[in-house]
Structure 1
Amino acid sequence: MDTRWLAGAEPSSGAALRLFCLPYAGGAAAAYRPWRELAPPGVEVLAVELPGRATRVREEPYVRLTPLVRALAGAVADGLDRPFALFGHSMGALVAFELTRALRRMGLPMPRHLFVSAADAPDARPGESRLFDAPDEEVKARLRRLNGTPLHLLEDEELMTLILPTLRADFAVLETYEYREEPPLPVPFTVLGGTADPSVSPAALLRWRRHSAVSAELRLFAGDHFYLNTVPAELVRTVVERLGLPESVEGSRW
């Protein structure tokens, strides 16, 4: 695997299952760092690092989904030699979905499970105005409403100057995306969200059901759009349970 896409992490040859985690807009692999300690033995958490942030800050971020997914599929293809699952939050949910469809088209292994979090279904029309070319203050206002960016960061003009280009690129990935009809995926879905998410309602989450030919379960957690930052242990426990791993893999911490 191309370890640039995994924040430099070398996948373990002893993992029973690999969990690839995809970030939200503006997010980096570090968002999933606590999951590595929370995951039971045998489950390897591999957080995807996209270009334009953290260890890849000098690389140009993608502004369209199709080339991003194509590059990511090529980067992880060698790591699909054992059971794996995908987890994506917000923008990451769309990337995970389209990555799974790309793997199917390429004849590569399918994930055991697809976890899509805090995102409307891919065939739903966007409900808010686009941000990738909006004024800075409008972008900041949306970030405040979603409650995922610390206030001190939003008020730091110098830091926001550095962060906004990557954020705009990620918003362009989302806001220029065009859904194309394909058969439902032969993969079970778990759809996750926050009970107080101001941008993605439970009704919106339910729209994912038609995209799985197997099953789709809804699971809500207390919190807003960034609930995953406040209930990481509960969220990881839910992921492990939905994967149906044997106790020998889950370990005793549960």
Structure 2
Amino acid sequence: MPNPWFGRSEPAQGAAFRLFCLPYAGGSAAAYRDWHALAPHDIQICPLELPGRGSRILEPPLTRLPQLSGALAEALAPHLDRPFAVFGHSMGGLLAFELTRTLRRCRRPLPAHLFVSAVAGPDAPRTRPPVHRASDADVVDELRALGGTPRELLEDEELMRLMLPTIRADFSALETYRYRPEPPLPVPLTVLGGTDDPLVPVPGLEGWHRQTDVDAAVRLLPGGHFFLHSAAAGVMAVIAETFGIPAPVTRCL
């Protein structure tokens, strides 16, 4: 039976190295659709589809980060048979971190590297007011403030009505998250941030250093909170450099 966390295509068995990619709040595996063309041949891009979006739009979304990290750990277990890394942007970065801690608690293989992008350290206090129980208009206003949702989508009432339950669930996962201290991870960390990101300034990124007892580095890329899209080639260059792979040549998408 196909694994729904991989959408319509499971990881190829011949892959030498896998990069599991987790989306931001309200996002789907489609956030990484261009990465297959950008990645070096040595890295297999594996976008993960969370419930309630994309090919899983009919499934109820999960509203707590521990639920998501536990379900992901189970779903990925058969695919941890070769070197892998985990990348997550914004909410996906926090989920990538908790997934790695879940894998450690379950005594399963750990990633060779953890990439967290556009998210403050997990023990940083939340500064934005909660919106997961707010009115639809307030949730849409929050999406508009975050800046990652196209205006035409925000103005499409029918589509927003379809997506709001999933967006609320993601906000709920973020806003109810409570960091629980554990020993630092034995996994190297790269923290990516946008030079013009008003939501996660550089000091917030620095808090990730406490979460690993090996190497940690902060890398800044041009752009705001969603530099994941505007600087996608730069993000992939950082990933390739981390593993000592020649920087990929950008191909036509």
**TM-score of the superposed pair, with normalisation by structure 2:** 0.95
The match for 1:138 is 138
CA, structure 1 residues 242+136, in 2 after alignment: closer, same or farther (shift >3 Å)? Answer: same
The match for 2:107 is 107
Alpha-carbon distance in 1 for matches of 2:23, 2:42: 22
Alpha-carbon distance in 2 for matches of 1:9, 1:240: 23
CA contact (8 A) 1:112 1:243 kept: no
Alpha-carbon distance in 1 for matches of 2:202, 2:83: 30
Stretch of structure 1 that moved more, 88-97 or 134-143: 134-143
Paired residues, what number? Answer: 251
Code of the residue aligned with 2:214 in structure 1: it is V
- 1:41 equivalent in alignment to 2:8: no
- 1:90 equivalent in alignment to 2:81: no
Alpha-carbon distance in 2 for matches of 1:2, 1:111: 23
Alpha-carbon distance in 1 for matches of 2:250, 2:13: 23
Q: Percent identity?
A: 54
Alpha-carbon distance in 2 for matches of 1:217, 1:230: 21
Following superposition, the deviation at residue 181 of structure 1 comes to 0.7
The CA RMSD measured in Å over matched residues stands at 1.6
The match for 2:194 is 194
Alpha-carbon distance in 2 for matches of 1:137, 1:146: 14
Alpha-carbon distance in 2 for matches of 1:200, 1:139: 20
Alpha-carbon distance in 1 for matches of 2:38, 2:242: 15
Once the two structures are superposed, the pairs formed by residues 1-254 of structure 1 within 5 Å of their partners are 3-245=3-245
- The unaligned stretches of length 5 or more in structure 2 are none
Alpha-carbon distance in 1 for matches of 2:48, 2:67: 16
Alpha-carbon distance in 2 for matches of 1:252, 1:81: 29
CA contact (8 A) 1:2 1:75 kept: no
- The unaligned stretches of length 5 or more in structure 1 are none
CA contact (8 A) 1:146 1:198 kept: no
Following superposition, the deviation at residue 177 of structure 1 comes to 0.8
* Structure 1 SS opposite 2:148: coil
Alpha-carbon distance in 2 for matches of 1:53, 1:252: 31
CA contact (8 A) 2:240 2:248 kept: no
Alpha-carbon distance in 1 for matches of 2:249, 2:28: 30
Superposed CA deviations along residues 216-238 of structure 1, whole A, max 9, x for unmatched, are 11111111110111111111111
